[in-house]
Amino acid sequence: MSNPLLAPFQTPFETAPFDQIKTEDFLPAIKQAIESGKKEIEQIKIQALPTFENTIEALDMAGKQVGIVSGIFFNLNSAETNDEIQKLAREISPLLTAYSNDILLDQALFERVAQVFSQKDQLTLSPEQETLLDKTYKSFVRNGANLNQEDAEKLRKIDQELGQLSLQFGENVLAETNKYVHYVEEEAAIEGLPESIKEAAAQTAEEKGKPGQWAFTLAFPSYIPAMTYLDNRELRKTLFMAYNTKACKGDELDNQEIIRSILRLRNERAQLLGYSSHAQFVLEERMAKSPKAVMDFLENLLEKALPKAKEEVKELEAYAQKRDGLKQLEKWDFAYYSELLKKEKYELDDELLRPYFQLEKVIEGVFQTASKLYGLQFIPNKDIPVYHPDVLAYEVKDESGNFVSVFYADYFPRAGKRNGAWMTSYKGQFVSQGQEQRPHVSIVCNFTKPTKSKPSLLTFNEVTTLFHEFGHALHGMLARGTYESLSGTSVFWDFVELPSQIFENWCYEKECLDLFAVHYETGEKIPENLVERIKKAANFQQGYQTVRQISFGLLDMAFHSIAPNEISSIPDFEKSCMEKTALLPEVEGTLMSTSFSHIFQGGYASGYYSYKWAEVLDADAFELFQEKGVFDKNTAQAFQDHILSAGGREHPSILYKRFRGREPQPEALLRRAGLIS
């Protein structure tokens, strides 16, 4: 029988044929796609005189099948994995690294690219073509094209090892998350938990063969409500310790040596290419440009946020002392007392809001917001195959009924899915032989599941998470470019969070909330005074949250800015980096780095600061929407034209200025966070 991954997909919009793919199809498909990709490269090399079209454009088009097959595979490895897929990932990852290196270290190919690059000033190129030429040339140079044979081999070896290590890091975190379950037999031990969370914990216990008990796991919808509502301080501590000691227990799932190896190899790689550190290497291709610029940015923010954060912690300590005689506020107390204080100050808590945020209604609200801003329609399509029964698939159309994109949504936690929320794509947008290929985009979340008696009711934080990921999805869906490598979310890493973070702002606007925030039992719209309280509470502990984000950014920069042999112990290093941002007592035995997947598994190494960087852009950009009206068509059109559809066709600062008419102003973020008046 033929391999469904290699035949043209006979599915609506040529979507991935998930219903036909078997795990054993991936390896042969990857191997064959790589062979085809190599033949396409050989074709480029035998062309006569190198031109922009026969070399630079041809390279951007080469290996499309590799991208599609590996995209399907690695997306499944994140959202629906198992032992077999993980084992296969360890086999497939080196093949893809070798394929990529074969291209980027091919001297004959690089010579063609360099020749076109050297004629750049004589060529009549559009800004998008110019960007592609720059990016192509730099990607060769930054991946070792100028190295001698011996160093090029070293680079290959480093890249192979790094690929394996980051996979192993992620597998260890997932295994630690999946293996932990804490059972409670007495209902008295879980006082304070809202009924819906209790019911979910009972359902989990029943599914795990312990009916009549309550089960807590390290998946977000279980762990976060437990830390927020459990009166039982000892149980909070137990769960906190389990969550914060993931992959650092000295057993086979310990990630400390993996971190050391990753840091050593990243540093070696950077030095091989002529950079002083991995951070310097990475930041050359970011808006921030240098480690110094990032450190100045973070230190400047810290200066503004730290005094406020200290005040907030003092206030919380005094509150816990007065309420319960608590002598020392610990990390496992923070979310619990914060929630109580927020409720007291603003008469607001998650359980008061949850009934207004039924998942299906929120999804509808996200769609309506996208419709009012960008004229999009989302039509469920049951004929599009999906990889799990929970996944929903839609075809997306514009106001004129033209096809825009395929959109997948996957909302609930399960054993084969990693924690957190993310956007990804199965197919990029590009133009080939005059024909436009439209994108296939997906968001993956881990929201509270429905129980036997209640639908899925989201916390306000989960609502903003859904809007955030959907903002990334809009960036992918509305892409309008010629070249896939510059299309959609293929932008500088510290610019990519702008579309996602700006979209969260609509969650605080009554005009938007009225589209979807209705009580799931009574159908009553969310009251005006509740929306006012949400807005007032938006800055609750903003100083603390800002300092927390900065601490992760500083740790990331420290890991990637110094010589790895200076790190004698991961726990000591983490502690020293976190000292100036520490607001609560250190907890012996805990370690955040060993599950810091953003930088050791995902692509955020030397880039974690970009969340705050993009917040400056999003706060500044949203002020324009507030000025003109949050659903103002002209402002939305400008944002679509210059940001969402433009992808990476020009430098982000040029695109941003085109939208805003000026440089971004950092004060907008400080104003929004209540850190300046």
Contact in structure between 560 and 605 (CB atoms under 8 Å): yes
Contact in structure between 193 and 204 (CB atoms under 8 Å): no
Coil, helix or strand at residue 147: coil
User: In Å, what is the CA distance from 370 to each residue of 378, 397, 423, 505, 647?
Assistant: 9, 11, 16, 13, 18
Pairing mode, if any, of strands 422-427 and 440-444? antiparallel
Interatomic CA distance for residues 487 and 481, integer angstroms: 5
Partner residues linked to 422 by β-bridges = 444
Listed in order, strand segments (DSSP E) in 415-519 are 422-427, 430-432, 435-437, 440-444
Neighbour tally for 83: CB within 10 Å: 9
Taking alpha carbons only, the member of 19, 171, 79, 23 closest to residue 414 is 79
Q: State yes or no: is 191 an active-site residue.
A: no
- The pair of structure tokens assigned to 120 is 């750049």
User: In Å, what is the CA distance from 49 to each residue of 40, 55, 119, 492, 564?
Assistant: 17, 9, 12, 32, 45
- The pair of structure tokens assigned to 419 is 């924690």
Catalytic entry in 161, 176, 469, 509 = 469
* Alpha helices for 80-219 (secondary structure H): 83-104, 107-118, 127-141, 149-179, 195-207
* Alpha helices for 180-290 (secondary structure H): 195-207, 220-229, 233-243, 256-272, 278-283
User: In Å, what is the CA distance from 663 to each residue of 377, 495, 497?
Assistant: 33, 14, 17
Interatomic CA distance for residues 576 and 207, integer angstroms: 43
Which residues are designated catalytic? 469
